[in-house]
Structure 1
């Protein structure tokens, strides 16, 4: 079992739940949820600690890349969750991928014969996992007496599944992201919670408060906390998703230049051709997205030019009269009015621009 490139709450919970369901049903083949990040990076995922606590787990219970032994590809089988293409040093296992459940754009790498092969848009990958395992879930949970220990364990699993769905869809209020399977998954899961004191809104508020608190993180940690990287066509793209807007980041840095310097240091550390920051925030209760794209190398700057020519669909408006822009360096910051476009939609646009180099 494998999670997404640079793990997030959706990736982790989807892998844990799916591994549990596949392992506890015939033929009871052991599925191991693997967190695709180094052990040290788990400490940045404070929201994961909060959610795992509800399931009686801690970060120490997770298997990460740091514990992954040197495996022979032919001795492994991989089921991808929350992504559909192995990258980097793990690309050598691509021929061993036997299944996939993902809500990102199909990269046509996973075999059409893979089982399962579920790749479709959805607010949360977990919603697809719940849909895929619904019958299994019913068989397991329907065996639980109302006051049994099994019912308590079922509630833990249910909370684990609910967390990424309500987090990714802003508790089902992000109309541009929510799909029918998200709604059905939440309804199904809530109906299986035995604890009468459980309140979904309270649970969402708890997760959000922890997730959005980045006050104690360095800028390097902020940029790598939710970071994904692609290296197609000989060029490297990196996108950092941040849960506070540019106003917050500039204020935290004290000015625009320290923020830019920190971002430049990160881009150099990762040896990026194009570096990007995507933010989500809720000033005065209004959901907003900001986007910054920077062509770090000569080829990267050419790619940014192409991205801007094809970027109308994102409805980009210059942020704060260009305070973070540098036209010569091809660095631009925008307020993104197309709120439906998350990293799942923006990354393919940037990657396509890189491919044309």
Structure 2
């Protein structure tokens, strides 16, 4: 088997006397490894904690904006006919899982009845083979299909987010629902299943600390601003409203005068530990009594060099994200310290825009369009 190109080398660790360790990485739902100093390109928590980790990217399936990392480093094919790593970065697809399902089917690794989609409903087409609907294999396959479907439905709001749903998503859902319906011991109800998923997602942070909540679904980018100088941007996605996060911060920091002050203390500690210049929190939740899906957005400047960019971001985001005054305005938080004074809190009215859209917008503004 031919090893794919190493993206780090033992030259990055001249003091080490231990033999190098090769680590093959298959990237799913992202397409660029971060730069970790002083180790070069790597994976946080792995290549920066152990000596002489040599990382090789052997495949990538993603639906985010192509950052050019894969094409720059290229992925040589392995010397085997049984496996050819996919290099698939396809934007405009609601869920990365939909692409994975397609790739598995194209390679013959997940066979089954063909399916078509009519008005969003999966219709089974005869495949010329009868199967016992409750064999162990069928039950396991149905469970695997439900697991895959959970991710797709969560990403596409139960296939109702028209701006996100693509034909790739529709075909994957049709295929997976056919797999589920082959098992007659399962009473399938997609809407009820989706409700269970969202309830589980919402309660998944209940017993985490504030730091764990912010870091649970966190991504960061290091982008060049000018020669020899980068900006580091982090975005936290949280499945609860800011009001909930304020209360959690207050319970962990009872010495603070109010929950809001505790929140900015926690956010500052989280950001400084990651050496961030800019940090954002995106909340996404359903609010009673009508279960209306809502989003909020917090943007905080940690490095004064980028303070002027905050107003630039606001002006663009008013149109692109539909932001408006949120839970707290600037007057509410200006006396809570420097971090609060360098923060803005908005309600994001265009709830179709997730981190996939917000991150590129922030990166463009804070790098000056570089």
Q: CA shift at 1:339, angstroms?
A: 1.7
Q: CA separation in 1, counterparts of 2:269 and 2:42? A: 30
2:209 is matched with which residue? 218
1:81 corresponding residue in structure 2: 28
Give 2:324's aligned residue.
317
Partner of 1:249: 245
1:268 matched to 2:264? The reply is: no
Give me the TM-score of the superposition, normalised by structure 1. Answer: 0.71
Among 101, 109, 113, which residue is 2:61 paired with? 101
CA-atom RMSD in angstroms:
3.0
In structure 2, the partner of 1:354 is: 366
Partner Cα separation in structure 1 for residue 211 and residue 296 of structure 2: 19
Following superposition, the deviation at residue 338 of structure 1 comes to 1.8
Q: Which has the higher helix share?
A: 1
TM-score (norm 2): 0.69
Question: In structure 1, how many angstroms separate the alpha carbons of the residues matched to 2:20 and 2:191?
Answer: 44
CA contact (8 A) 2:112 2:179 kept: no
* 1:118 pairs with 2:114: no
Residue equivalent to 1:139 = 111
Query: How far apart are 1:70 and its partner, in Å?
Result: 5.8
How much does 1:298 deviate? 1.4
Question: 2:197 aligns to what?
Answer: 207
The 5 Å alignment of 1:174-185 reads: 174-185=161-172
What does residue 155 of structure 2 align with?
168
Q: Structure 1 or 2: larger strand share?
A: 2
Contact 2:102 2:172 in 1 (8 A): yes
**Cα offset, 1:202, TM superposition:** 2.8
Partner in structure 2 of residue 44 of structure 1: none
Task: Determine whether 1:91 maps to 2:79.
Answer: no
| Higher gyration radius (CA) | 2
Give the secondary structure class of the aligned counterpart of 1:215: coil
* Correspondence for 2:307 among 283, 294, 301: 301
Q: Which has the higher contact order (CA 8 A, sep 6+)?
A: 1
Q: 1:92 deviation in Å?
A: 5.2
Cα pair 2:282 2:297 within 8 Å, conserved? yes
Question: How far off is 1:145 after superposition?
Answer: 4.3
Contact 2:24 2:56 survives alignment (8 Å)? yes
- The answer to whether the Cα contact below 8 Å between 1:176 and 1:339 also exists between their aligned partners in 2 is no
- Counterparts of 1:43-54 in structure 2, within 5 Å, are none
Query: How far 1:241 moved relative to its partner?
Result: 0.4
1:265 CA drift (Å): 1.5
Number of positions where the alignment pairs a residue of Structure 1 with one of Structure 2: 288
Q: Which runs of 5+ in 1 are unaligned?
A: 1-26, 30-68
Aligned residues of 2:64 and 2:89 also touching (Cα < 8 A): no
- Residues 273-296 of structure 1, C-alpha deviation per residue, up to 9 Å, x if partnerless? 001100111113211111000111
Measure the CA separation in 2 of the matches of 1:104 and 1:326: 36
